[in-house]
Each structure stands twice: as C-alpha cells, then as structure tokens.
Structure 1
Amino acid sequence: MSGPGFAVIDFETTGLFPTGNDRVIEVAIVHVDELGRIEGHWDTLVNPGRDLGRQDIHRIRAADVMNAPTFDQIAPRLVELLAGRVVVAHNASFDSRFLIAELQRAGHWTNANLVTLCTMQLARDFLPGTGRSLADCCAAYDIELDGAHRASVDAAATARLLGAYVESANDPAFWSEDIGAAVAYKWPGMVAQEIAWYPRPDSAHPMTAASFLARMTHHLPDVAGPAEYIDYLALLDRCLLDRHLSAHEVEALVQLADELGISRHSCEALHLEYFAGLTRIAWEDGILTTDEMADLVDVGNLLELSLEVVSAALDAPTPLAPESLAVVDPAQAFALRPGDLVVLTGDMTRSRDVWEGELVARGFTPWRAVTKKVKLVVAADPDSLSGKARKARDYGIPIVGEVALEKLTRGDSASG
C-alpha cells in the first residue's frame, strides 16, 4: 500500500480553522502511481462530535455521521494510506493543516514538514492564465467534476488533474525529488484498529416510520397497556413537533417501544390513532384549510400511512378511536409561552443575532446554555451533534429546525 507515488487527499470540514474548533467530517484518499495512473481510492465520513457547520456547502447531515468513526479511529488506516507517498491536494496548505491538527488532537505527534504538492499551485506551471479553482483547472483538461464538495468526488477529480500534469510534464525527473523525500518521511507509529470506514451514502432519504418499524418484529409479544401507549404517543408527538423525524428521534422511538414492550403491530395501530386525533382536531371547526391539509399529508407520509387513510382524512372527520387505545391530544402536547427559554445551536440561514432579536420581539427569552429550564432547542440540523444538542437530548428537551421555530414563535402550532 505504501509508495512510491502520490496520495491525493481531500477533506470536508466544519469550517476553515483547524487549530480552533473546526473538525474534519469527511476524508477521501486516491492513490496515483509515478506515471499518473490511479491505483485505488478510499473514503469515509467522520464523526466530529460537534455540529457540522455550513451544511449547505458540504451537504452532510448529522444523521449521516452518527454511526461514522471518529478521526482518532481512522487515523492508523489513514496514515497507512499516506505513508511513502507525496501528499497531494488542491489547496494543499488547507488540507495538510487539517491533517496535522487532527492527528495531533488524536495524540499522534506529526512532523509538520509533510512532503506535499498542490495542484492549485502547479496550475501556474501547467495552466498559466487559468483560474485557481478545482473546477477551472479540471475544465481546462475536460475532467468531469460532478458533485463538488464531496470528498470522494473532489479527490478523484484532483487525482485525474495530477495525472494530466504528469502526462504534460512528460519528465519523471520533475517529480523524483518529492517522491524520494516522501519515501523517507517518518509518519507516527500507530496501532492498527479494526474500524470499518463509512462512505457517504449516495442518496439521503428522509426518515419515516419505515425507518424504525422495520426494526421491530411482528411476533414480539405486546405486554404494554394504556399507560405505555400514552408514553409512546407523547414521544411520537414530540418527535413530530417540526414535522421531521431525525435519526436521533427514530432511535428514541425504537428504544422506548422496546423498553415498554410495545409490539410493531401496536406501534402501527398507535400511529393510526395519532393521525386520527390530529384529523379530528383539524376538522373541529368543520373546515379543512389548505395548511391543515398539507399538515395531514406530511404526517401521513412520515407515519407511512396508506394513501387511502390519508385521503379519507381529507374528505371527512375520522371516527372516534377504539377504546382499546389511549389517546394523546396532539393540540395540547407542546406550545411555546411568553418568557420560555429558547437555545440556538449551529450555523443557521439567518444569523443568531437576527433570530435572538426575533425571539425577544415575540416575548421569548434567548438563552445561551442548555439547562433543564430551557423549553426548546433550535438547531440548523435537528440531528446536531453539538454539546447543546446532546445535553438537550439528555434532558428530553425538543430539538427543532428553523422552519418549526418560525411556526412555534408565531403561535402557529405544528400540531395542526
């Protein structure tokens, strides 16, 4: 696996400052031989243990990294893939600084004098007058770059760009000094760990009831009664507060159903009952507004209810539920009241100062720390891994996104 040759690397990160709080959240490595030919590629998401920063740029969700390895877990394998090779990146200064910072944070001493080459800097020799971005350099060689800001895509494109440079130079001596220095470079010794790398999924499907019902067996004996049903429905209502099911919420529902002894069949019945209660509330005034219809459709889709059930709810009020199931009134479950403490976390589309001003203007209290007195936590991503989000889950405080905050603070309860 070691050199000689090149190891093209690309990181996706939470931000721009490796020596501050920013962390690596995705890494890709592509091996290129001395003649510019691609030999292999590897990539993985990385759990940074904090929020993910500008998710609109890298498009990685907190749910994607929940089960990913941490950097210290992938470090031995990563160093193995880099050893004996010239480290190459497009803007190598950025990637090498993150590499060194993460290795040092994980307790591994690293000589800062890495042997690196930068395809952005090399463009001055091979592509004079071309823009410095990876897209510009790739376009000059007609190299495809579809899905930028995905580590595997950027690393693969950079590897092909390096291959084009090697071919253009047509002189092995141009690279020999760096290749020789890379073979001699001493990386820190590490004990290999049997940690599977965790590539980013090709597509991100929204969570629905299918995400957790499939994990429950039809044959699990149901030992629950009305009290357990109410507990489950109360959690379901909290999870659907923002009409979004986060991965953390799915885990919480699975765990609670297991702890309470609620079978898959009963969970499905409880979902129907929850929807029936929501439908009755929507029809209380005898009119179903466009917003109420949209809300019922959203909840029906999240609960994986049949088209027939959802269509019937839009046509007429749902009959009263069977007495065998306990009912939680969705309209009474959660509401923000004047003075309630609200905590914000993560990089949102609106600045924190703007949101805090909005909260104050509407009679709520922005709060910086998560305590048991906080009523609501608002995150850029409801699956946020920030310390505030983790503490909120410990305390059972709802976590919602910006859209839900807008509805709740305007008194437009997400419960219909």
Structure 2
Amino acid sequence: MALLSSNSKWPTLPDYFHDWALVDVETSGLRPGRDRVLSLGVLTLDAHGRQTGEFSTLLNPGCDPGPVHVHGLTPARLAGAPIFEEVAPQVGALLSSRVLVAHNAQFDYDFLAHEFARVRSWGPVSRRLCTLALSRLVGPVTPDLKLGTLAAHYGVRQERAHDAQHDVAGPRRSHGCRTAGAKPVRVMPPSVVRTAARHRYPLVSRAAARVPPRPLPVRASPSLASPCR
C-alpha cells in the first residue's frame, strides 16, 4: 500500500524513531494452536526508513498444508523446506528489539509465538503495529480493508496474493518506506503511529501455547499427509 506524496523525506519526529520488522506469514489454517506456518517473510527497517535486512523461506510444517487452492503451497513444494526450528534463531534476531508490523498483526504474531513455543523458545516481540488497525483509523474510501484492496487503492502492484515473500512489501509501503526506484510515499499521521506502536503485548509461554513436551521430528521425518496438531 503506498500513500503517494511529493514529500519523500522520512519524518524527523521522535514518534517514528523505532526499528521495524515487517512480517507476513502463510499458514495451513486459521488456528495458531493447531495449524502451522508454511511460509514466512520478514523485512527490517531502521529508524530512518532504510531497509536493513530481509529474510523469506518456505517451511515444512510436518503436516497437511491445508487449503492449497488458497496459498498454492503443495506438499511437493514444502517437502524440502526447513522446519521452523532451523530458522528460529535467524527469525528471532530479525524480530528482536523491533516493532513488528503486519496487516492483521494479531494473526501473524500469534502464529509466530506458537512456532517459537513449539521449539521451546520465546518470540522476541514486545511491540507491534497493525496496518489493518491503522487503515481503520485513517479511513480510506474502499469497499473493504483487505491488503489487496488497499494495495490497489494506493497504487501498489500486488503480483501474488497469499504469498508471504511478496505480501510483506505491502505494509512496507503503507508504513512509509521508500526503496530504490520506488515512488516517494507519505507516512501516516504521527498520532496514529504513536498510538499503535506504543501498545505492548505479552510473550506467549510454552504452557500458554499448549505445546506437548515432546521433541520435534527431524527434518526428514515430517509427513505432509498427516493432520496438524
């Protein structure tokens, strides 16, 4: 989503002085305690809106990937992917000390928190900003607030819906980032960002995630035909 403006400068207000981690996940279902992350994209920005890192990967969930007709992630595509435990340290490093930004951030945060809990770890997220909530405050004239609808409204080309590696670019532009060769964008009003970014969220413990105390299977073991649990 891009908010086009002739002003390409990143704001100098202290409300924006955060490091950011823009996140999108694709999952095997809608229940974080049962379903799994299949694809993950993370893009990091510094306090001046400059991109500092990027990571994306498919993930082998060790179970049926769910609605393939929605996300296109077939068992064959996921069979050779790493399990979350293998990428957890890298993902944790990207999220640590940054504000997590996502469209419907509750969804992405809950799934990531459960994935970290499954590997006996913590999701290092204490603050997040939801671009869906942000859009409700800004109030664009659109029939709905889906990421694809907002992208079209703000003139951002969305080539592949339900693709974590691609969708993470939508919140990047709505959030006010400018990348090489991209059109300049205008950031949201400071009061809106301040309200959203200051909200703190507790970490999810292993007990809260209801993860059974058993070791995860090795990478070659998961069966993509079995149901998630």
Provide the TM-score with structure 1 as the length reference. 0.40
Q: Report the equivalent of 1:11.
A: 25
**1-side partners of 2:49 and 2:104: how far apart?**
19
Q: Which letter maps to 1:23?
A: R
The 1:37–1:109 alpha-carbon spacing in structure 2 relative to 1, beyond 3 Å, is: closer
Select which of 87, 93, 105 maps to 1:80: 93
2:190 is the counterpart of 1:386: no
Q: Report the equivalent of 1:245.
A: none
CA offset at residue 132 of structure 1? 1.1
Q: Report the equivalent of 2:130.
A: 118
**1-side partners of 2:203 and 2:36: how far apart?**
24
Q: Which letter maps to 1:60?
A: L
Q: Which letter maps to 1:13?
A: T
CA offset at residue 37 of structure 1? 4.1
Q: Is 1:4–1:85's contact at 8 Å kept on the other side of the alignment?
A: yes
CA offset at residue 160 of structure 1? 1.3
How many aligned residue pairs are there?
187
SS in 2 for 1:84: coil
Select which of 38, 42, 50 maps to 2:55: 42
Deviation readout 1:98-127 (Å, 9 max, x if unpaired): 01111111111457x731111011002223
CA offset at residue 32 of structure 1? 2.4
Q: Report the equivalent of 2:165.
A: 152
Matches within 5 A, 1:202-241: none
CA offset at residue 31 of structure 1? 1.2
CA offset at residue 150 of structure 1? 0.8
2:109 is the counterpart of 1:96: yes
User: What is the percentage of aligned positions where both structures have the same residue?
Assistant: 34
**1-side partners of 2:118 and 2:145: how far apart?**
31
Gaps of 5+ in 2: 1-16, 178-184, 206-222
Gaps of 5+ in 1: 189-383, 389-416
**2-side partners of 1:162 and 1:52: how far apart?**
31
Q: Is 1:8–1:88's contact at 8 Å kept on the other side of the alignment?
A: yes
Q: Report the equivalent of 1:167.
A: 186
Matches within 5 A, 1:193-342: none
Matches within 5 A, 1:185-200: none
Q: Is 1:85–1:179's contact at 8 Å kept on the other side of the alignment?
A: no
Deviation readout 1:367-414 (Å, 9 max, x if unpaired): xxxxxxxxxxxxxxxxx61248xxxxxxxxxxxxxxxxxxxxxxxxxx
Q: Report the equivalent of 2:74.
A: 61
CA offset at residue 141 of structure 1? 1.6
Structure number with the bigger relative contact order (C-alpha 8 A, sep ≥ 6) is 2
Deviation readout 1:322-371 (Å, 9 max, x if unpaired): xxxxxxxxxxxxxxxxxxxxxxxxxxxxxxxxxxxxxxxxxxxxxxxxxx
Deviation readout 1:207-247 (Å, 9 max, x if unpaired): xxxxxxxxxxxxxxxxxxxxxxxxxxxxxxxxxxxxxxxxx
SS in 2 for 1:15: coil
**2-side partners of 1:122 and 1:173: how far apart?**
7
Superposed CA RMSD in Å reads 3.2
Structure having the higher Rg: 1
Provide the TM-score with structure 2 as the length reference. 0.70
SS in 2 for 1:12: strand
